[in-house]
Chain A
Amino acid sequence: MSAHAEEHFAGSNKLFVSIWVWLLFLTLIEIGLAYKPMAIHIMLTILLGLSIIKAALIVAYFMHLKFERLSLVLTIVPVLVICIVLLFVFFPDSFRSSKLRYKFQESPPVAPTAEEP
């Protein structure tokens, strides 16, 4: 309580060190993945999954959200997740726009005679 000289801050240093070790371990897995040949979408999925786990560990323990009141968690987490998911609404367009692009290499900016070998 604020009235006391000491403030409540849950979590022991031992717990924080173990979280740090976990974060380093997951980072090593990510670096290892970089050199494993695999399809890019599978790699992206695994990397994002690992990143979300790491982010959750940081938010829950280092940023202490696990020990806060539920009303604070419910106020800040869902709104962020929904907004980020909404940002993906633009994404399908990227697959389309690559097909619409002007293929400049098909009409090179050189005189036609230069093309005759």
Chain B
Amino acid sequence: MSTEARAEHFVAADWDGGAFPYHVGHRKLGMWLFIISDSLTFSALLIGYGYLRASNNWPTPFPFYPSIVFSSVMTFCLLSSSLTMVFGVSASSKGDKAAARKWILATIFFGLAFIVLHLIEWNHLIGEGLRPFYLPEHWAKTFTLADGTPPSPLFGATFFAITGLHMFHVATGAVYLSVVATRVKKLKHEDIEISGLYWHFVDLVWMFVFPLIYIMSVDVGGHLAR
């Protein structure tokens, strides 16, 4: 019997300590702690973005197509990838490792679809002339206020930094899940569950990035419509 299994036989109320106080293995607790610290990284970035936005004339340049259509489909991809991941973990809990592998591969597929769509969307904006510290000329002209205050050129910096860091997390997750899918038969159930925790966290971050970056910056009046 493993240490963890023996520890489970301890009858211990919450906070009683003992050998196994959280009822999770040390790897899973470690992933939870990593998720806490990564949440703080994204929170700091998003609050920094809010700070800049509140203290500047901020452009709202996203058209319905391509930006909002692409980002909505990307949201659908991530949410669906979370569903396939949870199916994978569920299959693994029943001991069906082959099904778990299939579901994890489906998760990787949705994750890669997200990255491809996001890169196409980035390419649109870069093609328009958006750079980390410069706005496209026609954006700068359109969003200058009546008193002559120009729009903040930091729009690109916040956009590329936040969505870029998120995309990096998705890419890392895809690599992580590929390793898990390859070794799925050798891994314990809890290890598969831990990879699921990471993947759902990436989905969770997008639930904040999507409304704050995309929905809040929609060009409602069609100011940029040519």
B5 CB-CB contact with A under 8 Å: yes
One of B68, B93, B200, B218 near A8 (C-beta < 8 A): B93
B142: CB under 8 A from chain A? no
- Is B186 an interface residue, CB under 8 A from the partner? no
Range, interface on chain B: 35 or more
Q: With A2-B8, A71-B15 given, is the CB distance from A30 to B89 under 8 Å?
A: no
Docked Cα-Cα span, A31 to B214, in Å, equals: 9
- Interface size counted on chain A using CB atoms at 8 A: 60
Contact residues, A17-76 vs B (CB, 8 A): 17, 20, 23-24, 27, 30-31, 33-35, 37, 40, 43-44, 47-48, 50-51, 54-55, 58-59, 61-64, 68-72, 75-76
Interface string of A1-20 (1 = CB under 8 A from B): 11101111101010011001
Judge if B163 is at the interface, Cβ distance under 8 Å. Answer: no
* A58 lies within 8 A of B200 (CB): yes
Across the interface, do A27 and B200 meet the contact criterion of CB distance under 8 Å?
no
Say which one of B47-55, B123-131, B167-175 lies at the interface with A: B47-55
Is B215 in contact with A95, judged by CB distance below 8 angstroms?
Answer: no
A20 to B79, CA, bound (A): 7
Closest CB in chain A relative to B150 CB, distance in Å: 7
- Chain B nearest CB from A60 CB (Å) reads 11
A34 & B215 in contact (Cβ 8 Å cutoff): yes
B138-157: contact bitstring with A at CB < 8 Å (1 yes, 0 no)? Answer: 00000000001110000000
Q: Decide if the interface of chain B is mainly helix, strand, loop or mixed.
A: helix
Q: Which of B80-88, B109-117, B176-184 participates in binding chain A?
A: B80-88
Query: Smallest CB–CB gap between B127 and chain A, Å?
Result: 23
What residue of chain A has the Cβ atom nearest to residue B8's Cβ?
Answer: A1
B207, closest chain A residue (CB):
A54
Which residues on the A side are within 8 Å of B197 (C-beta)?
A: 63-64
B161 on interface, CB distance cutoff 8 Å: no
Q: Which residues on the B side are within 8 Å of A87 (C-beta)?
A: 40, 43-44, 47
The residue on A at minimum CB distance from B3 is A2
Across the interface, do A94 and B215 meet the contact criterion of CB distance under 8 Å?
no
A13 to B44, CA, bound (A): 35
Residues of B at the A interface (CB closer than 8 Å) are 1-2, 4-5, 8, 14-15, 21-24, 29, 32-33, 35-36, 39-40, 43-44, 47, 50-52, 54-56, 68, 72, 75-76, 79-80, 82-83, 85-87, 89-90, 92-95, 148-150, 189-190, 193, 196-197, 200-201, 203-204, 207-208, 210-212, 214-216, 218, 220
Top 7 nearest A-B pairs (CB, nearest first) are: A9-B93, A94-B55, A98-B55, A94-B54, A47-B211, A69-B23, A7-B189
Q: Pick 5 A–B contacts, CB within 8 A, sort by A.
A: A63-B204, A91-B54, A94-B51, A94-B52, A101-B55
